[in-house]
A and B are shown apart, each in its own frame.
Chain A
Amino acid sequence: MGKVRLGLIGLGLMGTPHARTLIKVPECDLVAASDVDEKQKAVTEELGIKFYRRYEEMIEKENLQGVILAVPNHLHVSIGIACAQQGLHLFVEKPIAQSVSEADRLIEAAKKNKVRILVGHQRRFSSLVEKAREIVAGGELGRLVGVTVTWALLKPGPYFEGPLSWRKDKGGGPILINLIHEIDNLRYICGEIDQVFALTSNKVRNFHVEDTASIALRFKNGALGTIFLSDCAPSLTSWEGTTGENPLLYHDFGNCYNFFGTDGSLLFPQMKRLYYSDPAKAGWNYPITEQGYKMVREDPYIKEFSHFCRVVSGKEESRTSGEDGRRTLEVTLAIQRSGETGQPIVL
């Protein structure tokens, strides 16, 4: 079977690097890309693919099998439905939609037109996350009792300026933009989250949107979680600051997650597992054994797009289905609502 014929919609901050990645993926045949902004044509010329200003024209003419949607959030559902109606499988950048009911509409349309959805939570393709999931879900830590997440960093001044000033308003902050990745990671590694509570604050930047949050979680399997989130704290204790998976950001070698189970704990992304090797000498007064894992680092985007091709050709189940992307959104929105109401939310 040949390569999978794909089109890309949206050549902005995310779409442009996606185009560059897609042409490197052996299973992909990136035929064309579209953006309402004529300026983005340049990159398609450089990559030797066709350019369309109107995506409608592209999906009609190009005999595609799937599309990658990297348009602004409010267009995910309308463009997604239009593509689904043409029988195209969908790669939708995160978040799947802006609300749970909108996500439902997209999921429904995909079902009706028998197309599959992969939501762009690329961290699920990080080899670190895959390994952590294998360790936690595989029971190497025993029964999971809890997980802690720290995401503390300083977004620089220009991040909020000029055309980007929407980031100062509700919905433009670290809960909807950044935390959603942490939530998806936790759900993927630890299981379903069914209760959330958040204390949020905007006291540092004094924007409408939150700059800091402290979150308490409960998982369906009984484990508890805490998340500390801040985008106004000079720190490297975050996914970006420790994993190095975002090449544009600085990173060092700390840990951003800790997983705790009855048989051991895992410090992430240092990938150190701690446990007592002798059950007769298990306890806070005994030396603890440390085990490392040898990690091979691969580009998660390449893995994600290869996977998408296999989803399109029916060889694999979507790793992040529409329902999955919807649930990650639902939990994230619940955290935001809890921050507003001051009350815990049961999902």
Chain B
Amino acid sequence: MGKVRLGLIGMGMIGKLHAETMSKMKDLEFVAASDVEAKHQKTAEELRTKFYQSYEEMISKEKLDGVVVAVPNELHLPVGSACAKKGLHLLMEKPIAADLESADRLIQAAKENKVHLMVGHHRRHNPLIEELRNIVRGGKIGKLVGVTVLWALYKPKDYFQGPFTWRAAIGGGPIRINLIHEIDNIRYICGDVTRLYAEVSNEARQFPVEDTVSISLRLAGGAVANIFLTDTAPGNIGYEANTGENLFFYHSPETCYYYFGTEGMITFPQMKKFFYRDPGKAGWQFPLCEEGIKIDREDPYTRQIRNFCGVIQGSETPKIDGVDARKTLEVTLAIQKSGETGQPVVF
């Protein structure tokens, strides 16, 4: 089989990043890109790929193996289904779709047309997250006791202005946009969520959408987790700021996750393990040993496209398929619901 031939639909904020990533990868052919906005033609030219204003035209004219779909959420289902019908494998940006019903229909469309459906929860492709998963699942900190996740980054004023006023409306807030990544990370690293409760507030910004959320989760293995998230407090703790994965965000060397096990604790993204070496001297009055875990960093977006190519060629399975991504969406939406009803949600 020759090089995998890929197309891109949607060249906005994240689409552009995919375009740049694909144009740099030698083991694939970035055949064409499409956006309803003609201004994106320039980017296509710079990256030496063909440009279409109509994605329908692109997928019928070009011989493609798969497409990366990075259009707004409400269009995931129609665009994804149209591509599936053409027999194209799908890498859908997250969330899989705007709601659970659309997600089911998209999963069905992929199944009927025998195409792979992969979802762009790119953090799963970050070597730091993979290693954390191996540590937790491999029992390297014993039995998992609990997890704390902190995400407190300040979204600037212009984030909500001009064409982005939808971000102040219900559905445009940190639960659906940011928290979904945290939920997917927890699910990927620890396993499924069995019960949750959320307190949700919009009192600081007074927008219809939430700005602050406090969550308690129970996980399948019996561990519990906390998430605190706010986009309205000047702070420097949060995955984007701490991992340096995307340098748009100001980089701060703080810890955003603590993973607690019976045999040790991991701080993320420092990837330091803290533990008692001598069981005879284990307890709050004794010093803890500290050990660094060495990990080679690699760009998760590149690894994500590489996984997609592998999936198309039949040599790899998707890091996250449609059913898995639907579950992440389900848990995320349940947080919103718990906040509205004031009741816990059981899965």
Contact = CB atoms under 8 A, between A and B. Distances in A.
A163 interface: no
Contacts of B283: 154-157, 159
A159 B343 CA distance: 36
Nearest to B279: A157
A263 B233 CA distance: 6
A215 B154 contact: no
Given A260-B152, A343-B343, 9 more contacts: A214-B226, A222-B204, A228-B148, A228-B226, A234-B262, A258-B237, A283-B154, A284-B154, A344-B342
A322 to B, nearest CB: 29
Contacts of B157: 282-283
Contact of A234 (B148, B230, B233, B264): B264
9 closest A-B pairs by beta carbon, nearest first, are A283-B156, A156-B283, A260-B233, A233-B260, A203-B222, A214-B224, A224-B214, A265-B235, A214-B216
Contacts of B236: 265, 274, 288
Given A145-B232, A195-B199, A233 B265 contact: yes
Contacts of B248: 285
B344 A343 contact: yes
B227 interface: yes
A212 B145 contact: yes
A148 B150 contact: yes
B200 to A, nearest CB: 8
Contacts of B274: 234-236
A143 B197 contact: no
A249 B343 CA distance: 39
A225 B343 CA distance: 17
A135 to B, nearest CB: 14
Interface in A161-194: none
A198 B156 CA distance: 33
A235 B264 CA distance: 7
B225 A145 contact: no
Contacts of A146: 152, 212, 214, 228, 230, 233
Nearest to A229: B146
A227 B228 CA distance: 9
Contact of B146 (A152, A153, A159, A262): A152
Contacts of B232: 145, 262
B145 A230 contact: yes
15 contacts: A141-B233, A145-B230, A148-B148, A157-B283, A197-B199, A215-B216, A217-B199, A222-B204, A224-B214, A226-B216, A228-B224, A228-B226, A233-B146, A237-B265, A248-B285
B135 to A, nearest CB: 14
A197 B261 contact: no
A145 B212 CA distance: 7
Contacts of A304: none
B346 to A, nearest CB: 9
Interface of A: 141, 143, 145-146, 148, 150, 152-157, 159, 195, 197-201, 203-204, 211-218, 222-228, 230, 232-237, 240-241, 248-250, 252, 258, 260-265, 274-276, 282-288, 342-344
A158 to B, nearest CB: 8
Contacts of A153: 284
Contacts of A197: 197, 199, 216, 344
A282 B234 contact: yes
B347 interface: no
Nearest to B212: A145
A283 B260 CA distance: 31
Contact of A265 (B146, B152, B159, B250): B152
A233 B261 contact: yes
Contact of B258 (A212, A214, A235, A252): A235
Interface string B303-347: 000000000000000000000000000000000000000111000
B143 interface: yes
B241 interface: yes
Contacts of B73: none
Contact of A156 (B146, B148, B282, B288): B282
A222 B342 contact: no
Interface string B234-249: 1111101100000011
B51 interface: no
A260 B197 contact: no
B168 interface: no
B224 A201 contact: yes
A241 B284 contact: yes
Contacts of A241: 284
A249 B198 contact: no
Contacts of A154: 276, 282-284
B213 to A, nearest CB: 7
Contact of A155 (B159, B233, B258, B284): B284
Nearest to B235: A265
A344 B258 contact: no
Interface string B255-298: 00010111111000000001110000011111110000000000
A265 B236 CA distance: 9
B143 A274 contact: no
Contacts of A286: 156, 250
A81 B119 CA distance: 66
A234 B291 CA distance: 14
Nearest to B249: A284
B288 A258 contact: no
Contacts of B218: 199, 201, 214
A156 B233 CA distance: 38
B176 interface: no
Contacts of B5: none
Contact of B212 (A199, A213, A224, A265): A224
